[in-house]
């Protein structure tokens, strides 16, 4: 018999969904419980419970980002899997939505409407534009597929992998500025690691054309925030939309709230649906029960 | 030798593009010219020139809408072809862009940003939603394909044709209200004919769910404008975006400018690119020169 503890602010929802699935040999337990071998929850709640889970053998994070559990002082003698594969569709909708909003000038149209101004000047199109994806994992591959659907050219920047057939050209490690040159759109989907911190800095922003538009749905730590504010204020790039920030919620006195040509959303690009995450948990539980390799296992050293 | 007259506000651009193509046996002429057999231009300019084109054998409209030439008092002893197949990509971008803007609440997000309000409530998704297309010609088929790409269910309302494989269910003639029931999105792409005038009226709007969103990229005449204003004011539907109107430019005192939950654009959904339209003209010219059937021939009786 396996014992699961659910460490989530949505504990009741996950409990109901998992009970409904009637998984073999699985019992849902409460803390403290010396014999719990499985944990499901948000990373910071799992971290807080680690000391009271001596028998923990597998933890499934409900989030993609698992920073709290990477802390080198934390225990690592268990298998950590994170949430992947469930955000792709929503992320793609978010990114394509803001790209189209930019091309079709929908904020400008709304302003013209307010001014009763029949402004029939031409709008743009995604067809023929070039998008650069910083990170091409499962989410990036979905974005690449949508970009191809709309007739875009797709560049991918990765450490080494070249797994998506929808990416026209791959760039690696030291090619970052070459990757950036000529992009119409730069989209960050990278996880938070020591190599990705402030990867979107003044050098990268300066390598972009002045009409480029930047989207960050990866992690807030990937952006040098003052360099981005500076680039937007000086019209070094045309605009940006950010969903993630170094500090969340964004502090009231943060300059991002009022930076020109900057759109903010509130870590809402890909809300995780309990149904999708429960499906992922069940899939991994069945692998776990059979002693097989789990999906989306995190490498504590690499950090993703 | 064929003789072409270009009747367009962009005459110089089309002249340059066509000269560049060096078409066999084609000479570009100026009015008046008794031996001109081909006209290329905007419908109202072609109409104005009809009397001075006694030898006209074929007219290629630069627009999809050819109402001025359908006037029953006008000559019809020539082949009229209109612009089709060149707007699909842009129309699709426009429609998907506004659908995503609605699902992702991007206007609300912009307002929250202005209020420094970290509003991380959930947003919606196109996946699983149902879109109803009024009209499934070449543009509708492209929209259907994009809707399927985003995981939507697609209904098509047509007079009889069922040519797009991306439409899950077809509805015809008397099934209009059945077609409308349960739609998340209603999109009008119908041409202007006697059967499509005010097809979007109080009955149709009342058949939609209250969360439905309406998009008009077809013709302004398809909408009963006061019924739509009423439906939006009473929250009978959630919102709408209109690109075309009974009268364009929209008069300064029109209620549409300030109707709640209504977004306006300015007949900008699918700007016609001279390069695309010239390609269409050349394709048709080659068919014409060989005595073959032309593409996108208008039936004067049907009106499309």
In this structure, the answer to whether residues B122 and B56 fall within a common structural domain is: no
- Tens of pLDDT, residues A225-242: 999 999 999 999 999 999
Cβ-based contacts of B96 with chain A (< 8 Å): 96, 100
CB contact under 8 A, A109 and B266: yes
**pTM of the predicted protein model:** 0.85
The total of structural domains in chain B comes to: 2
- Tens of pLDDT, residues A247-295: 999 999 999 999 999 999 999 998 878 998 999 999 999 999 999 999 9
In three-state secondary structure terms, A276 is helix
Per-residue pLDDT for A160 more than 90? no
- Alpha carbon separation from B135 to A164, B67, B87, B174, B196 (Å, rounded): 36, 18, 15, 14, 10
Q: What percent of chain A has pLDDT over 70?
A: 100
CB contact under 8 A, B104 and A122: no
- Tens of pLDDT, residues A56-74: 999 999 998 898 999 877 8
- The model's confidence at residue A138, banded by pLDDT at 50, 70 and 90, is confident
Which has the closest alpha carbon to A156: A127, A128, A185, A197?
A185
Q: Are B274 and B20 in contact (CB under 8 A)?
A: no
Residue A299 domain-assigned?
no
Cβ-based contacts of A250 with chain B (< 8 Å): 118
Which has the closest alpha carbon to B93: A243, A126, A260?
A126
Residue A114 domain-assigned?
yes
* Mutation to test the B interface, candidates A103, A266, A269, A274, most B Cβ within 10 Å: A266
User: Catalytic residues of A, which ones?
Assistant: 219, 248, 267
What span, in angstroms and rounded, lies between the C-alpha atoms of B94 and B36? 38
- For the sheet containing A185-188, what is the strand order? A169-172, A153-158, A130-134, A185-188, A213-216, A239-242, A262-264
Bridge partners for B7 per DSSP: B41
- For the sheet containing A58-61, what is the strand order? A26-29, A2-7, A38-41, A58-61, A79-81
In this structure, the answer to whether residues B200 and B68 fall within a common structural domain is: no
Better-predicted residue by pLDDT, A140 or A72: A140
Residue B99 domain-assigned?
yes
Residue A33 domain-assigned?
yes
What span, in angstroms and rounded, lies between the C-alpha atoms of A248 and B118? 9
In this structure, the answer to whether residues B257 and B148 fall within a common structural domain is: yes
What span, in angstroms and rounded, lies between the C-alpha atoms of A106 and B93? 12
Distance from CA of B51 to the nearest CA of A (A): 31
**Chain B residues near any Cβ of chain A (below 8 Å):** 89-90, 93-94, 96-98, 100-101, 103-104, 106-107, 109-110, 112-113, 116, 118-123, 125-127, 146, 149-151, 248-250, 252, 257, 263-268, 271
In this structure, the answer to whether residues A118 and A259 fall within a common structural domain is: yes
Question: How many residues are given for chain B?
Answer: 304
Residue A100 domain-assigned?
yes
Better-predicted residue by pLDDT, A72 or A210: A210
pLDDT of the residue at B122: 86
* Mutation to test the A interface, candidates B10, B88, B96, B253, most A Cβ within 10 Å: B96
Residue A296 domain-assigned?
no
Per-residue pLDDT for A125 more than 80? yes
pLDDT of the residue at A223: 98
Give chain B's residues under pLDDT 70: none
Q: What CATH number is given to the structural domain containing A247?
A: 3.40.50.720
Closest Cα in chain A to B94: A104
In this structure, the answer to whether residues A129 and A215 fall within a common structural domain is: yes
- Tens of pLDDT, residues A2-44: 999 999 999 999 999 999 999 999 999 988 878 999 999 999 9
What span, in angstroms and rounded, lies between the C-alpha atoms of A267 and A272? 11
Cβ-based contacts of B109 with chain A (< 8 Å): 263-266, 268
Mean pLDDT of A160-189: 96
Q: Are A157 and A176 in contact (CB under 8 A)?
A: yes
Residue A79 domain-assigned?
yes
Residue B244 domain-assigned?
yes
In this structure, the answer to whether residues A120 and A203 fall within a common structural domain is: yes
Distance from CA of A74 to the nearest CA of B (A): 30
pLDDT of the residue at A304: 83
In this structure, the answer to whether residues B96 and B177 fall within a common structural domain is: yes
Sign of CA dihedral B144, B147, B151, B153: negative
Of all helices (H) and strands (E), which one includes residue B81?
strand B79-81
In this structure, the answer to whether residues B62 and B20 fall within a common structural domain is: yes
- Alpha carbon separation from B102 to A269, B96, B157, B269 (Å, rounded): 14, 10, 23, 17
What span, in angstroms and rounded, lies between the C-alpha atoms of A92 and A150? 12
Cβ-based contacts of B266 with chain A (< 8 Å): 109, 112, 118-120
User: Catalytic residues of B, which ones?
Assistant: 219, 248, 267
pLDDT of the residue at B61: 96
Mean pLDDT of A100-110: 97
pLDDT of the residue at A272: 76
Identify the domain containing residue B45 by its residue range: 2-85+272-289
In this structure, the answer to whether residues B63 and B200 fall within a common structural domain is: no
In three-state secondary structure terms, B220 is helix
pLDDT of the residue at A192: 85
In this structure, the answer to whether residues A239 and A108 fall within a common structural domain is: yes
Q: Are A143 and A128 in contact (CB under 8 A)?
A: no
In this structure, the answer to whether residues B60 and B106 fall within a common structural domain is: no
Q: Are A272 and A63 in contact (CB under 8 A)?
A: yes
What span, in angstroms and rounded, lies between the C-alpha atoms of A291 and A4? 16
Q: Are A130 and A148 in contact (CB under 8 A)?
A: no
In this structure, the answer to whether residues A238 and A94 fall within a common structural domain is: yes
């Amino acid at each position: 018999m396996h014992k699961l503890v659910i460490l989530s602010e949505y504990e009741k929802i996950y409990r109901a969904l998992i009970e409904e699935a009637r998984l073999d040999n699985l019992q849902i337990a409460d803390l403290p419980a010396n014999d719990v071998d499985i944990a499901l929850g948000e990373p910071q709640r799992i971290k807080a419970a680690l000391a009271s889970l001596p028998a923990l053998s597998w933890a499934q994070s409900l989030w993609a980002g698992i920073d709290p559990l990477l802390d080198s002082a934390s225990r690592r003698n268990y298998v950590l899997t994170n949430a992947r594969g469930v955000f792709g569709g929503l992320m793609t909708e978010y990114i394509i939505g803001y790209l189209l909003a930019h091309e079709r000038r929908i904020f400008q149209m709304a302003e013209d409407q307010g001014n009763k101004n029949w402004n029939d000047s031409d709008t743009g199109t995604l067809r023929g534009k070039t998008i650069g994806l910083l990170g091409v994992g499962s989410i990036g591959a979905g974005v690449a597929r949508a970009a191809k659907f709309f007739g875009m050219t797709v560049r991918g920047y990765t450490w080494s992998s070249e797994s998506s057939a929808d990416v026209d050209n791959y760039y690696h490690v030291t090619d970052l500025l070459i990757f950036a040159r000529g992009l119409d759109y730069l989209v960050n989907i990278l996880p938070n690691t020591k190599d990705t911190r402030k990867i979107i800095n003044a050098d990268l922003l300066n390598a972009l054309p002045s009409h480029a538009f930047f989207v960050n749905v990866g992690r807030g730590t990937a952006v040098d925030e003052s360099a981005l504010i500076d680039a937007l204020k000086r019209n070094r790039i045309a605009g940006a939309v950010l969903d993630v920030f170094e500090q969340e919620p964004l502090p009231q006195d943060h300059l991002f709230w009022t930076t020109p040509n900057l759109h903010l959303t509130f870590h809402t690009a890909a809300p995780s649906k309990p149904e999708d995450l429960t499906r992922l948990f069940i899939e991994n539980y069945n692998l776990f029960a059979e002693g097989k390799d789990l999906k989306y296992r995190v490498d504590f050293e690499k950090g993703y």
